[in-house]
Structure 1
Amino acid sequence: MSDRDRTSDGKPQNARPRDALGRPLPYGEEGVEGIPEDAQFDPDEAITEGQRLLDHGYPFHAHEVFESVWKSCEPEERPLWQGLAQLSVGLTHLLRGNVKGATSVLKQGQARIRHYEDEPPHGLDIDGLSAWADHLLTEIERGGPIPEPPTPRLRMP
């Protein structure tokens, strides 16, 4: 018998509670409510909800919101939503203390969103997000602790 949670059709599922950064907690512990797997957001809702989650220290959950859009959007916008999800995951890794993972995913996310800098869709601040990622990557490269990384701003001011 497997020790992993599975749906009735055998699909892997993790019903364990999770902390604010998406790490699994032992069964029975109080966790943070996640984003339902079947959640659907339109782009404006996703940006608003993603910003709310980032503002409250839940970048892992913001990534799940952006991921839900990338799975259902038009092909020409998939890299945008993948990039936003990767920036959120990069911040998650940084807050978890995984600087190698943070560096890799921040670079990937930044490269994806840069394709939209000439005509930023949905009021997104592509230049600001890229500068935010550059700042974090510079701080990581310096090698010192990053006690409180700044929260990214998704929309243009």
Structure 2
Amino acid sequence: MTEKRRDRDSEGRARSARPRDGLGRPLPYGAPGVERQPEGLVRAPGETVREAQRLLDGGRPFHAHEVFEDAWKSGPDAERALWRGLAQLAVGLTHAARGNTAGGARLLLRGAGGIAAYRDRAPYGIDVAGLTAWAGELAGRLEGHGPVDAGAEAPRLI
């Protein structure tokens, strides 16, 4: 049996070097793919929101999730649930666009629940009420349907 080696970074953590498509699905090595988001960037909150919105508008929710994940991992503890919830919304849209509508709906609702506590604060201008409404509405439409167009269904963050 041939041993499969995983791509690793300099610290030994698994990192896939395979190219990915616009929805983050791995492609064969050597295939042309969509440029990935650099991992581990620490951005100002406003920059995080702007970059994620650009990616969402471009139909790349998987990549927006990676931007939110960086904020979740590097931000203050008091904001982790916000960024994690936003990442879950982006992943929910990713799954819905890939055709996993049941999983997409679950993640959309989980993400909406995660950000709901921020509804009265609207941190960084994020429209938490609008996002929770968007997530609930999209999750409701997904049951029994095929993939959605990620760009057409992209939410407005602010």
Shorter chain as normaliser: what TM range? over 0.9
- Measured against aligned partners, the alpha-carbon deviations of 1:57-81 in whole angstroms (never above 9, x if no partner) come to 1000000001101111111110000
2:29 to 19, 27, 32: 27
Q: TM-score, normalised by structure 1?
A: 0.92
Q: What is aligned with 2:154?
A: 151
Q: How many residues get paired?
A: 154
Query: Which amino acid is 2:145 matched to?
Result: G
Q: What is aligned with 1:79?
A: 81
In 2, Cα distance between equivalents of 1:92 and 1:42:
24
- Distance of aligned partners of 1:146 and 1:14 in 2 relative to their CA distance in 1, 3 Å threshold: closer
Tell me the CA shift for residue 39 of structure 1.
1.8
Query: Which amino acid is 1:119 matched to?
Result: R
1:139–1:146 CA contact under 8 A, matched in 2: no
The alignment status of 1:136 with 2:138, answered yes or no, reads yes
2:72–2:84 CA contact under 8 A, matched in 1: yes
What CA RMSD, in Å, does the superposition of the two structures yield over aligned residues?
1.4
Gaps spanning 5+ residues in structure 2: where? none
- Distance of aligned partners of 1:38 and 1:54 in 2 relative to their CA distance in 1, 3 Å threshold: same
Tell me the CA shift for residue 44 of structure 1.
0.2
- Measured against aligned partners, the alpha-carbon deviations of 1:59-105 in whole angstroms (never above 9, x if no partner) come to 00000001101111111110000000000000000000011211221
In 2, Cα distance between equivalents of 1:78 and 1:60:
19
Gaps spanning 5+ residues in structure 1: where? none
1:37 to 33, 36, 39: 39
The correspondence of residues 110-125 of structure 1 with structure 2, limited to 5 A, is 110-125=112-127
**Percent identity at matched positions?**
53
Q: TM-score, normalised by structure 2?
A: 0.92
Q: What is aligned with 2:105?
A: 103
- Measured against aligned partners, the alpha-carbon deviations of 1:130-154 in whole angstroms (never above 9, x if no partner) come to 111011111023x234543521000
1:5–1:15 CA contact under 8 A, matched in 2: yes
